Structure formats: C-alpha cells, structure tokens
Amino acid sequence: MIVTETADKIKSMEIRGAGRIARAAAAALRDHALSVGDQSLAAFLQEMERAAATLIATRPTAVSLPNAVHIVMTGINAAKTVEEARVGVVTRADTFISSSQHAVERIARIGARHIRDGDVILTHCNSEAALSCIIEAHREGKEISVYATEVRPRNQGLITIRTLNDAGIKTMFIVDSAVRSVINDVDLVIVGADAVTVNGAVVNKIGTAQVAHAAHGARVNMVVAAETYKFAPRTLLGELIRIEERPGNEVLPDEIARTLPYVTVRNPAFDVTPAEYIDLIVTEEGAIPPQMAYVIIKEYLGWGIEEFHSSLEVNGRHEE
Ligand code: RUB
C-alpha cells in the first residue's frame, strides 16, 4: 500500500530532506485517496486521517511534513460526499507539490542574488533549497567554489558533492570538524532548514549550530534557504520542535558498542541555531530577517491563532 511504502521510505531515509519528504507525503495521500474504494464519507475521512497519522509519525523534526499533510487534508473540510473529499485531497496535493517545486525555483533566484562573483560558500548537509541558490549563481556565470561537509553519521555530504560536481562547481569536501579551520576562507554559509520557529530559530541537520557559531565568530554571513511551509505554526503557542534521536548504530557499529558496556551513543539528528546567528532566511516570498518568522507563519501559512487555540482545547479535553 502506497502510504505504508512511503512511510517506510521516509523512516529509512530513502526519501529524505524536508522538501522531498513533504512532497512524498502529499503524493502518498493523493494516491491513497484515489485508491480507497466506495464507502461512507465518515469511513473515508477515518481512512484518510489514519493515513495522515502514519505519515506524520515517520520523522518528528521536519515541520514540512505535518504542514504538507495539513494543507492536503484541508481539501476534505467542506466535502459533503466521498467524491468531493477525494477531489479535494487530489487537488490540494497536486497544488502543494507544484507550488513547492516553484518555491525552490524562486528561492534559487532570490538566494543567488546574495552570492557574489568570486564567493567561497560553505554548505552543510544536503538541502535542495540551499543547493538551488548555489547552482543558480553558478548558472548566472558567477565564479564560485563550495566547501561541503561530510555530515556524519549518514554522510549526506556525499549527495551534495555529487550534485555540485554534476553542476560543474569547484568543491572542497571536508569533515564536519574542519569547519572552524576553513571558515576564514569562506564568504558565505548557506544551509537549508527542517523547521523555522516563531522566534526565528532554525532547526537543521546536526552540526548546523556549530557551523553558525563558527561563521558568527568569523563575521561570515549565514543564510538559510527555506520554503514558507518549513515554518512551524505550532511554535506560536509554545509547542517545541522535537529533535529526532536516531539509533546509536548509525554512529558506532553494534559489534563495537557491545564491547563497551559503559558507553551510550547519543545520535540527535538535528540541532537548533538561534536567530542571532542567522543573517537572512530566503523564502519564496522574499528574503527576510529571522525575526520576521512570525509574519510568515501568520500571513503565508494562513492558519489563524484561533485555530491553534481550539486545537489546543480539543487536545486538552482529549487528554483529560
Ligand atoms: C536533511 C536536512 C536538510 C533540510 C533541508 O536532513 O537537514 O538540510 O531537510 O533540506 P535528513 P531541503 O537528511 O536527515 O532528512 O532544502 O532539501 O528541504
């Protein structure tokens, strides 16, 4: 079944990166809506909600995932028949997928303007949005080069250097701990985001906060490329972003760990970079200072604070 298959691929990181995860979840909901047979509207809604919950449970940090699911599921809201609900989901999913792709293209054009001819850029992890800015600058004829980190423990840096290489961009591959050593040669850091909170903090791959710290110390600008659906509406009411903790054997093989009974491996997959270390967030709606995150949440995600109040009340009652 498409939902289980997509959920498994997201969990195992065969599908990874906040934007790709969001699009895959939207596509899975669309295909699921199309495959669910004739039944009552209530049964259809229940089936779709079950699918939505399965997808959301796969990875806890990338806010693009629940945001995409929320956007697609609102297609059901006004439906009076199963057919209307089905069409609502399919239309919402297709619109989300294409607008998310357009968002990356717009971010590329806006982000590229912040890259000057001759710049040395540093990027961490593998972000479609961040790489799109770098590749666009190169396409515009700017002579740029890139430091790309390895990204322990899952080595997403290997995907990044393949993409940069295929685009013909001169790239230096470094281990994560070399960032401080090379930062004085860098003009600009560009990374992506899994979530942006209402106070402008950016949640991204583990190590991003150290990169930002090094950049801040060396007075190197730090730019985050993030579509508006990576902003986290629920942080408006105090909800925290959950940082995914992945299995220790991604860091230390089980056969070695077994010989070290006093050692516990911690493997947090993401960290939080405070707003004061970030110069600019490039969204498809424009480049903003991180302090404007609240405006993006209110204006572009379009979910009123009232909706969150009522959802909190519902949840509260539910838990009692
Ligand atoms: C990926 C990661 C990326 C963001 C943004 O983590 O941290 O920087 O998701 O990526 P993981 P994009 O590999 O654990 O999913 O710009 O492609 O959405």
User: What are 48-64's pLDDT values in tens digits?
Assistant: 999 999 999 999 999 99
Asked if the structure places residue 161 within a domain, the reply is yes
pLDDT number for residue 237: 86
Take residue 229 and report the two structure tokens written for it: 């659906």
How far apart CA 141 and CA 202 sit, in angstroms, is: 30
Domain match, 79 and 120 both = no
Nearest-angstrom CA–CA distance, 140 and 137: 5
pLDDT per position as a tens digit, 247-291: 999 999 999 999 999 999 999 999 999 999 999 999 999 999 999
Statement to judge: residues 124 and 257 lie in one domain: yes
- The percent of residues above 70 in pLDDT, for the chain, comes to 94
Judge if 126 and 89 occupy the same domain: no
Closest C-alpha residue for ligand 1 atom 11? 17
Q: Where does a domain end: 105, 123, 140?
A: 105
93 and 118 co-located in one domain:
no
In this structure, the answer to whether residues 152 and 40 fall within a common structural domain is no
Residue 320: inside a domain? no
Q: Is residue 55 part of a domain?
A: yes
For residue 120, the one-letter residue type is V
106 alpha carbon – ligand 1 mean position (Å): 18
Instruction: Answer whether residue 135 is part of any domain.
Output: yes
305 in any annotated domain? yes
Closest C-alpha among 320, 311, 170 to residue 237: 311
Distance from residue 36's CA to the centre of ligand 1 (Å) = 31
194 in catalytic set:
yes
246 lines ligand 1 (CB under 6 A): no
Statement to judge: residues 236 and 121 lie in one domain: yes
Average pLDDT, the chain: 94
At 317, the pLDDT band (50, 70, 90 cuts) reads very low
Residue 320, pLDDT score: 28
Report the percent of the chain where pLDDT is more than 90.
Answer: 90
CB 104 within 8 A of CB 19: yes
Same domain? 93 vs 133: no
What is the tally of structural domains in the chain?
Answer: 2
Last residue of a domain, one of 57, 81, 105: 105
Q: Residue range 109-131: average pLDDT?
A: 98
Tens-place pLDDT, residues 122-171: 999 999 999 999 999 999 999 999 999 999 999 999 999 999 999 999 99
Does 114 lie in the same domain as 236? yes
Nearest CA to ligand 1 atom 6: 17
Pocket test residue of 156, 208, 270 for ligand 1, highest count of atoms within 8 A of CB: 156
Atom of ligand 1 nearest to the CA of 104: 16
88, 105, 122 - which closes a domain = 105
Shared domain check, 281 and 140: yes
Distance CA 73, CA 52 (A): 8
Q: What does the angle CA 248 – CA 251 – CA 256 come to, to the nearest 5 degrees?
A: 80
**pTM for the full predicted model:** 0.94
Task: Give the separation between CA 75 and CA 88, rounded to whole angstroms.
Answer: 4
pLDDT in the model for residue 300: 78
Residue 132 located in a structural domain: yes
257 and 151, same structural domain? yes
Q: Is 209 a domain residue?
A: yes
Contact 123, 190 (CB under 8 A): yes
17 lines ligand 1 (CB under 6 A): yes
205 lines ligand 1 (CB under 6 A): yes
Write the CA distances from 303 to 59, 80, 104, 298, 318, integer angstroms: 22, 23, 22, 6, 22
Are residues 178 and 165 located together in one domain of the fold? yes
Q: Which range marks the domain in which residue 158 is found?
A: 110-315
Output b/e per residue, 216-236; b: 16+ Cβ within 10 A. Answer: beeebebbbbbbbbbbbbbbb
Between residues 304 and 88, the one the model is more confident about? 88
Q: Is 56 helix (H, G, I), strand (E, B) or coil?
A: helix
Helix (H), strand (E) at residue 162: helix 157-166
What's the distance, CA 249 to chain centroid? 24
| Model confidence at 3: pLDDT above 80 | yes
Ligand 1 site, residue 163, Cβ cutoff 6 A: no
pLDDT, tens digit, 9 for 90 and up, residues 179-218: 999 999 999 999 999 999 999 999 999 999 999 999 999 9
Whether residues 137 and 252 fall in one domain? yes
- Residue 49 sits in a domain of what CATH number? 1.20.120.420
| Nearest Cα residue to 263 out of 251, 273, 277 | 251
Which residue in 133, 193, 123 sits closest to 160, CA to CA? 123
- pLDDT at residue 303, as a whole number: 61
**Domain annotation covers residue 256:** yes
Give the sheet arrangement for strand 270-273, strand by strand.
195-196, 202-205, 270-273
Q: Is 133 a catalytic residue?
A: no
Catalytic residue among 31, 119, 176, 194: 194
Q: Other CB atoms closer than 10 Å to residue 36's CB: what's the count?
A: 17
Return the bridge partners of 196, or none.
Answer: 202, 231
